[in-house]
Amino acid sequence: MNDPKNDLPMSVDTLAVHAGREDLTALGLHALPIDLSTTNPLPDIEKGGDSYEALATGGTPPENGSNVYARLWNPTVARFEAGLAQLEHAETAVAFASGMAALTAALLAFTASTGKRHVVAVRPLYGGTDHLLATGLLGTEVTFCNPDEVTGALREDTGLVLMETPANPTLELVSIADVVAQAGTVPVLVDNTFATPVLQNPLDHGAALAMHSATKYLGGHGDVIGGVIACSEQHAEMLRPIRAITGAILHPLAAYLLHRGLTTLPLRVRAQQDNARKVAEWLSTQDAVEQVYFPGMNEDPAGVLGTQMAGPGAMISIRLKGGYAAAEKLTTSVQIFTHAVSLGGVDSLIENPAALTHRPVAGDAKPDAGLVRMSIGLESPEDLIADLARGL
Ligand X SMILES: *Cc1c(COP(=O)(O)O)cnc(C)c1O
Taking the complex as a whole, how short is the minimal distance between the CB of residue 129 and ligand X, in angstroms? 6
Taking the complex as a whole, how short is the minimal distance between the CB of residue 378 and ligand X, in angstroms? 19
**Which region among 13-21, 80-88, 208-216, 238-246 touches ligand X (by CB under 6 A)?**
208-216
- Which string of b and e fits 98-116 if b means at least 16 CB within 10 Å? bbbbbbbbbbbbbbeeeeb
Taking the complex as a whole, how short is the minimal distance between the CB of residue 336 and ligand X, in angstroms? 22
- Which phi and psi angles does 227 have, rounded to 5°? -145, 160
**Which region among 45-53, 74-82, 124-132, 316-324 touches ligand X (by CB under 6 A)?**
124-132
**Calpha distance 151→354 (Å, rounded):** 30
375 binds ligand X (CB under 6 A): no
227 binds ligand X (CB under 6 A): yes
Catalytic positions:
71, 126, 191, 216
The secondary structure of residue 309, as a DSSP letter, is B
**Calpha distance 348→325 (Å, rounded):** 22
Q: In DSSP terms, which residues pair with 371 in a beta bridge?
A: 319
Taking the complex as a whole, how short is the minimal distance between the CB of residue 344 and ligand X, in angstroms? 8
The secondary structure of residue 139, as a DSSP letter, is S
**Calpha distance 279→313 (Å, rounded):** 12
Q: Contact letters (x/-) for ligand X, 138-177, by CB under 6 A?
A: --------------------------x---x---------
Of the residues 78, 84, 133, 225, which one makes contact with ligand X according to CB under 6 A = 225
**Terminal Cα-to-Cα distance of the chain (whole angstroms):** 50
340 binds ligand X (CB under 6 A): no
191 binds ligand X (CB under 6 A): yes
193 binds ligand X (CB under 6 A): yes
- Please give the residues from 32 up to 91 whose contact with ligand X meets the rule CB under 6 A: none
351 binds ligand X (CB under 6 A): no
**Calpha distance 339→349 (Å, rounded):** 6
The secondary structure of residue 9, as a DSSP letter, is P
User: For residue 252, is the peptide bond before it cis, meaning its omega torsion is within 30 degrees of 0?
Assistant: no
Residues near ligand X (CB under 6 A), total: 16
Query: Between residues 19 and 190, which has the closer beta carbon with respect to ligand X?
Result: 190
Of the residues 175, 215, 308, 338, which one makes contact with ligand X according to CB under 6 A = 215
Nearest residue to the partner ligand X, using Cβ: 99
**Calpha distance 74→37 (Å, rounded):** 8
**Which region among 23-31, 76-84, 123-131, 273-281 touches ligand X (by CB under 6 A)?**
123-131
Of the residues 33, 48, 49, 128, which one makes contact with ligand X according to CB under 6 A = 128
Query: Between residues 158 and 215, which has the closer beta carbon with respect to ligand X?
Result: 215
Pairing of strands 227-231, 209-213: antiparallel
**Calpha distance 215→224 (Å, rounded):** 6
Q: Contact letters (x/-) for ligand X, 86-115, by CB under 6 A?
A: ------------xxx---------------
User: For residue 166, is the peptide bond before it cis, meaning its omega torsion is within 30 degrees of 0?
Assistant: yes
Are residues 236 and 276 in contact, defined by beta-carbon separation less than 8 angstroms? no
Query: Between residues 101 and 183, which has the closer beta carbon with respect to ligand X?
Result: 101
What DSSP string runs through 182-198? HHTTS-EEEE-TTTHHH
213 binds ligand X (CB under 6 A): yes
- Which residues contact ligand X (rule: CB under 6 A)? 98-100, 126, 128-129, 164, 168, 191, 193-194, 213, 215-216, 225, 227
